[in-house]
Amino acid sequence: MPLPRFLVCALIFCAFAPFITAQNREVNWPTYAGDAQRSGWQKTETRITKNTAKDLQLLWKLKLDVPARSARPLLPPVIMGRLISYRGFKELAFVGTGADIVYAIDADLGKMFWQKHLEYASSDPQASGSSAACPGGLTAMPAMPTTPPAGRGAPPTGPFVSGPVSLYALSSDGRIHRLNTSTGDDIVQPVSVLPPNTRAASLNIVENVVYTVTTQNCHDSPDAVWAIDLTGDAPKTASFPLSATGVLGLEGVAVSSDGTVYAGDSKTLYALSPRSLQLRRSFAFSRESATIASSPVVFSYKNRDILVVAGSDGRIYAVDPASQKIDRSPPVAGSEGGISGISTWEDDGVRWVFASVSGKGSSASSIASFKVEEPGGSIVLTPGWIFREINSSVPPVIANGVVFALSGSSRATLYALDAATGKPLYSSRNLVTAPASSTGLTIANGRVYFGTTDGTLYAFGIYMEH
């Protein structure tokens, strides 16, 4: 007996549903480097490809209110791919600035949607001075929750988690804000969770817990890893003290697929339990000649987590928590330079690690690539291509086989490279008129974003007719 026609249609729809969803859904970039693991990999990009990268163009730029003195005034935008708001369907870019302002920008049009000044409300005076180490103001890139792995995740109860997806921001007074993505309003009264005037790294939200790291003992605040449990009536804070000098990167912590929280100071990598931050394991670099120079990036490789960090000696270190083995790459940065960021992605079963190398003098600047391999049961970082025409101070980001890197020179330049070969596919040339903000790149839904030191947010991407 033939199937009813509507049933045939339903079956056809089901067959095509994954394809439809992939095409249809605008995706998020909810946190620094795009995910809780800090991979820098946008896994669902469809518009930017190796073939279309040459068609990238400056779509819009928008000047925002930033502190005049800051070297990193604009934090990379969080992207909310689709908000069905009372003002329409929007793709929003949320940008935090050192002026304690969070902006929501219509990412398609480059128009302001809302802006919110996070009032300073601590009894301690607001830090008036600013330095590279302690810039003051909002220092942590805001975040939206990353998607919890299937089958896990605490039920969202309590005023800080129940209801619509929200944006979370840490103001310079140490209060956590839950912001309405449609209006910028505080959904609940912000709560003090950290000391004021810290230098907090980007927020990382996993299963209703906000993680960050404070460094530089700014204004006598402790250097520590922080976990802010948003569930329940009020946020609860746990911390893990860092004994050595903290790492300056914006990345903060990386959270693996099993929820383990990875953070580091200059000498040790720590594996901490989720939420409570109990020490599970540590990986001391005491036997190495170098110190840890970047926040960790974690990825899954052959069903186990692998950590990668930069060393002060210009090498990438790969840590296998299971075997406790550490592999180090050949040096890619000289004594006058350093690795300023790491990202990773997987292509047809090949795991790649990319490093942004900034250099001075004899030290060559570049984007360096490595393949992760395991020839004799141990992780090895095998050098791949190097692209030497770039002096980048932010980690690259990857989408659909294309690596994006940002040169931070007097006029920032965005590069798109073939992720497999390093072949240049696009350069923004002289379209940007100020140095890069040295904070990071964001990529989502056919657009790449970054800020410059004059407080301008740039959006490059594939043109869509409006």
Partner 1 sequence: MKIFAMIVSVIAACVVIIGADWPTDGGNPQRTNWQRDETILNKNNVANLKILWRLKLDNAPRQMHSLFPPLIIDQVRTRNGVRQIALEAGVSDNLYAIDVEEGEIIWKKHFEYPPPARSGRPTDPLCPGGQTATPLIGPPDAAGVRTVYALAGNGDLHFLNLATGDEITPPVPFGYPNGKAYALNIWNNVIFTTTSQGCAGNPNQVWAIDLNDPQKKVMTFNPRSGGLWGRTGAAIDSHGVAWAPTGDGFYDQAAQRYGNGLIGVKVEGNELKLKDWYVPSNWAWMLKRDLDMQVTPAIFEYKGRELMVTGSKECRVYLLDINSAGGENHQTPVHRTTLLCNEEVNFASAGIWGSMASWEDTKGTRWVLTPFWGPVHPDFKVPITYGRVKHGAIVAFKVEDKGGKSQLTPAWMSRDMDQAEPPVIANGVVFAYGSGENTAQAYPDRGLDNQSPLRIKASTHAVLYALDAETGKELYSSGDQIASFAHFTGLSIANGRVYLGTYDSVLYCFGLEK
Binding region for partner 1 (CB under 8 A): 5-6, 9-10, 20, 23-24, 26, 83-89, 91, 108-109, 163-164, 180-183, 185, 464-466
Note the helical H segments in 348-452. none
Residue 128 has a CB neighbour count (10 Å cut-off) of: 7
Complex with partner 1: residue 19 or 151, whichever CB lies closer: 19
CB of 187 to partner 1, least distance (A): 8
Q: Say if residue 258 is exposed, middle or buried (CB neighbours under 10 Å; 0-12, 13-18, 19+).
A: exposed
Alpha-carbon Rg for the chain in angstroms: 21
CB of 108 to partner 1, least distance (A): 7
Complex with partner 1: residue 85 or 126, whichever CB lies closer: 85
Which pair of tokens denotes residue 152?
A: 């896990």
CB of 188 to partner 1, least distance (A): 12
Q: Compute the half-sphere exposure of residue 185: CA atoms within 13 Å on the CB side of its CA.
A: 4
Complex with partner 1: residue 27 or 254, whichever CB lies closer: 27
CB of 301 to partner 1, least distance (A): 36
Complex with partner 1: residue 132 or 165, whichever CB lies closer: 165
- The continuous run of DSSP H or E covering 383 comes out as strand 380-387
Q: Say if residue 152 is exposed, middle or buried (CB neighbours under 10 Å; 0-12, 13-18, 19+).
A: exposed
Complex with partner 1: residue 9 or 322, whichever CB lies closer: 9
CB of 164 to partner 1, least distance (A): 5
Instruction: Decide if 321 contacts 256 (C-beta within 8 A).
Output: no
Complex with partner 1: residue 88 or 349, whichever CB lies closer: 88
Map tokens 């033939």 to a residue. Answer: 2
**Beta-strand pair 88-97/101-106:** antiparallel
Pick the closest to residue 83 from 34, 134, 144, 141 (CA basis): 144
CB of 464 to partner 1, least distance (A): 6
CA 241 to chain CA centroid, Å, is: 23
Pick the closest to residue 352 from 304, 397, 413 (CA basis): 397
Please, which residues have CB within 8 angstroms of residue 407's CB and are 6 or more apart in sequence? 390, 391, 392, 413, 414, 415, 436
Complex with partner 1: residue 49 or 217, whichever CB lies closer: 49
Complex with partner 1: residue 181 or 407, whichever CB lies closer: 181
CB of 165 to partner 1, least distance (A): 9
Complex with partner 1: residue 186 or 418, whichever CB lies closer: 186
Specify the amino acid at residue 192: S
CB of 316 to partner 1, least distance (A): 39
CB of 157 to partner 1, least distance (A): 17
Q: Say if residue 55 is exposed, middle or buried (CB neighbours under 10 Å; 0-12, 13-18, 19+).
A: middle
